[in-house]
Amino acid sequence: MRIAYAASEVAEGFDRARSEAKSSFGDDRVFIEKFITDPRHVEIQVLGDKHGNVIHLGERECSIQRRNQKVIEEAPSPLLDPETRALMGAQAVALAKAVGYDSAGTVEFVAGQDKSFYFLEMNTRLQVEHPVTELVTGIDLVEQMIRVAAGERLAIRQEDVELKGWAVESRIYAEDPFRNFLPSIGRLVRYRPPAETSAAGVTVRNDTGVYEGGEISLHYDPMIAKLVTHARTRDAAIEAQSDALDAFVIDGVQHNIPFLAALMQHPRWRAGQLSTGFIAEEYPEGFHASLPEAAVAGRLALVAAAIDHVGNARKRRIGGQMEGRKVTFDQRRVVRLDDLEYRVWTHESPEALEVSFLSDDGMAQEPHEVRSAWAPGIPVWCGTIDGVAATVQVRPVPNGFVLGHRGAIVTAHVYTEAEAAAARLMPEKKSSDSGKRVLCPMPGLVVSIAVSEGQDVKAGETLAIVEAMKMENILRAERDGVVKKIHAKPGETLAVDAVILEFA
């Protein structure tokens, strides 16, 4: 593909495209298409019967994509107005009628930021993202497909279709967002999706085909589930999605929930300023865990203090303790969230746990009321902070716990002031360097080894190809060197971080 930015570039680009196509495929025919700068992916859901009736059910925005694979979908689109929706819908219906289409189908468009739109393709099937349309229209697409297949006429007219509220869908994938979204396989040691509800104007729906104890295989698509929320407004649907992601517990495989949760807080996403290049533009170096914003960090510090308080309360009730001086727990604590540190004061009242942040001079500020029925071993802390509901994921680690909330992931330690002073003096552990070894970045099948022992290689040369979940990954040399030993062979299935080869 070549882009012509000026009329003078058209002829040369056309000739080069023809030459390359002829050389590569033996066919020099060329399509000329309008290039859309900063495009969006918007699609129209159509529904037809065997009697020539076709209607559309509004649009879906699918612009949040990675490697041309949709990640987030929503309905309706924050781009379209009623006039553009009607025009786009009319063209989709005309296309379906022109080919005599029946059943559910999706007509996809590339849209410009100026609301211009251009036909892309038609998918003659049920789309992965169909739940967002079902939630905003109240129409069960699978039911309609069955009725149409049985020869029934559509009982729904175009004027009956009304879009109510907003729906957002997140695709939960078995992939590691901290390792450039490489696929992850293994057993679902724990799989606890959020409760499906439809109350107080908010709907939470989880479409899945996996179960706790099941295995995620390298032979299939990495999708684990589709998490969908619906509410009266887009902001409310996003908030509901954020809460649901915080409550979604998966252990045993790596997954993209931390990335999805962080994306839900991204100001550009919140503003609806989308394009198919969103992820590449906003995360050019990949996704990395970052320190939480002040409001989120403060919330996590309060939850950490509350979790520590529960643990201390349990210790007080341990039976068979030695007689002597009664053990008391200092109400002053130091909460460390990675590199952030908070001094707090805790007090248990009959109604709730009160946690106050301490100022630099040691004075307690206005207390926060923290309420929860959480107990050690429960993977999700659910409760309220000053009357506002909060959901935080909790994973125990030595002498602390990892907390996840709104896309932020931090390791929390709660100390007495004396313990905190000692902890500040402890040297940091350095992560081990793989040195001259090339490790398998994910569980996968070795497709090929491109080098041999004793071979000189240059930086950037292909070393091996590993396949997992329908995707081939090329491993290249990071620097010049000589291959000392090859540990893997084509056709072998490797675990993550298995040694493929090493350099001298």
Residue positions annotated with a catalytic role: 121
3-state helix, strand and coil shares in percent for the chain, rounded to the nearest 5? 25, 35, 40
Q: Is the dihedral of CA 457, 461, 465, 468 positive or negative?
A: positive
C-alpha–C-alpha distance, residues 383 and 368, integer Å: 13
**Residue 353 in contact with residue 307, Cβ under 8 Å?**
no
Question: Nearest Cα to 172, choosing from 247, 93, 84, 231?
Answer: 247
In angstroms, rounded to a whole number, what is the distance separating the alpha carbons of residues 52 and 97?
A: 7
- Burial label for 295, CB within 10 Å (0-12, 13-18, 19+), is exposed
Q: Please name every residue paired with 369 in a beta bridge, in sequence order, or none if there are none.
A: 354
CB 175 within 8 A of CB 235: no
Secondary structure element (H or E) that encloses residue 244, with its range: helix 234-246
Side-chain half-sphere exposure of 125, counting CA atoms within 13 A: 4
Contacts of 271 (CB under 8 A, 6+ apart): none
**Strand partners of residue 170:** 72, 227
Largest CA distance in the chain: 93
Tell me the H-state helices in 26-100.
82-98
Q: Is the peptide bond before 284 cis (omega within 30 degrees of 0)?
A: no
210 CB-contact burial (10 Å; exposed 0-12 / middle 13-18 / buried 19+): middle
* Nearest to 397, CA basis, from 307, 296, 319, 290: 307
Question: 447 phi and psi, to 5 degrees?
Answer: -80, -45
Exposed, middle or buried: residue 458 (CB in 10 Å: 0-12, 13-18, 19+)?
exposed
Q: Cβ distance 438 to 454 under 8 Å? A: no
- Which alpha helices (DSSP H) does 415-469 contain, by range? 417-423
